[in-house]
Amino acid sequence: GSIDEDEDRDGDGITTCGGDCCDSTECNKPELVNAGAFDAAGNNFDDDCNGLVDDAELLCDTGLTSNTNAAMDFARAIELCQTTTLAEKKWGVISATLTLANGSGSPAAKSHAIRPKFGTNVLPKGGLSVALLSTGAAAGKGDTNPAWQDFQDTPEFDGNGTESAFPADFVAANGGSLPNAPGCAEPDGSTALDPVMLTLEIRVPSNAKSFKLDTNFFSSEFPEYTCSPYNDFFVVLLDSTYAGMPANPSDKNLAFYTPAGSTMKYPVGVNLAAGDTGLFTQCINGETGCAGGGGGTIGTCTGTDQLVGTGLDSADANNCDTNSKQGGGTGWLQTSGNVVGGEIIKLRIAIWDTSDHILDSIAVIDHFQWSVDATDPGTVLF
């Protein structure tokens, strides 16, 4: 043999000289241990070959400007701290952009923000910041840069003044139209109104099989426009080469819920309230859809703590019931998808209004995490 051979005995694509500290019998799964891996918590091993066992979670979301237009800051806000390049084999964020829903143009400046919290009680699930995307202003009461605006009293009927096509692949996979909750009216129009999309291009760690992130959706369309043609859309679209089971959704959207024992799919949004799914919990129980939606009731609200300080906690006796609030929310949800180790994925997180520019919604996103296990793709109550 040759002296100092640069070998790749485990076939993981990374050689001993390239940073593979376990290329043969040094560990029980050498193909999962290399400089391209993430350090899986609790396994008492140096998965990423950086000389440390079970690394502490990186903190990279301090000191971020609330009204930044730097899309990479939004990756940091959700705990995607590591960056990389196309040429490197280590995992990390390769690129990040803020656009309209079709991936082009620039969103309204007030439609996105990084905050230490939303309102009073929606606090980070990881790190010290959360990312906000909104069809109005990405702000709670008292916030600045951008400033809070009333979710229902939109200053202009043209909203944020932005429009785009829907994500073409998402619509095509749903037969040329937007999907909706079972039994609810189809959305009007063919244009995404007041849209904003965060797109992240990420090299997956070599030992990762899935990821999850925490999401929280709030809307002033609840309760009166529940199950109406006017509902705002929130999507988490994953482009991955994963072809195993459990399968990722064919339309790429991970922001959906399927009740146990059912094949029905509910997109994450205000219409989770229409099906009494149990995933729309920050609200007042009572009548829904009284102003243009499918009339119904909700009985799964558990409280309004997460509405406090957002502006959606304001009393609005004209909204279906005399004890109604100005809006409601899902509470914290967990959205998951499957991936292939070492591949480059594209993750598109977006929100937009359909049919009109008024009655705004906001999504809170935080705490992206990798896993060494496959998952059931979709969204569940956290």
Do residues 206 and 36 touch, judged by C-beta distance below 8 A?
yes
- The pLDDT of residue 11: 65
Report pLDDT digits (tens) over 323-359: 889 999 999 999 999 999 999 999 999 999 988 888 9
Do residues 116 and 175 touch, judged by C-beta distance below 8 A?
no
Can you tell me the distance from the alpha carbon of 184 to that of 127, in angstroms, rounded to the nearest whole number? 38
Report yes or no on whether pTM surpasses 0.85.
Answer: yes
Distances (CA, A) of 29 to 23, 46, 85, 330: 9, 12, 26, 40
Range of lowest pLDDT (27-31, 217-221, 227-231, 356-360): 27-31
- The pLDDT of residue 338: 99
Q: With a cut of 60, say whether residue 268 has pLDDT above it.
A: yes
Going by C-beta distance under 8 Å and a sequence separation of 6 or more, which residues neighbour residue 234? 215, 217, 255, 267, 268, 269, 350, 351, 361, 363
- The pLDDT of residue 25: 67
H helices, E strands: number in the chain: 2, 16
Mean pLDDT in residue range 25-43 = 79
Can you tell me the distance from the alpha carbon of 29 to that of 23, in angstroms, rounded to the nearest whole number? 9
Going by C-beta distance under 8 Å and a sequence separation of 6 or more, which residues neighbour residue 184? 227, 228, 231, 271, 274, 293, 294
Question: Between 51 and 366, whose confidence is greater?
Answer: 366
- The pLDDT of residue 5: 63
Q: With a cut of 80, say whether residue 277 has pLDDT above it.
A: yes
Can you tell me the distance from the alpha carbon of 184 to that of 275, in angstroms, rounded to the nearest whole number? 9
Q: With a cut of 60, say whether residue 3 has pLDDT above it.
A: no
Question: Between 19 and 72, whose confidence is greater?
Answer: 72
Reported confidence tier of residue 154, pLDDT bands at 50, 70, 90: low
Q: With a cut of 60, say whether residue 313 has pLDDT above it.
A: yes
Range of lowest pLDDT (151-165, 196-210, 274-288, 291-305): 151-165
Mean pLDDT in residue range 216-226 = 94
H/E stretch holding 122? none
Can you tell me the distance from the alpha carbon of 103 to that of 93, in angstroms, rounded to the nearest whole number? 18
Distances (CA, A) of 132 to 198, 314, 349: 10, 20, 11
Question: Between 276 and 134, whose confidence is greater?
Answer: 134
Can you tell me the distance from the alpha carbon of 47 to that of 22, in angstroms, rounded to the nearest whole number? 9
Do residues 281 and 381 touch, judged by C-beta distance below 8 A?
yes
Report pLDDT digits (tens) over 38-88: 888 877 777 878 778 777 677 999 999 999 999 999 999 999 999 999 999
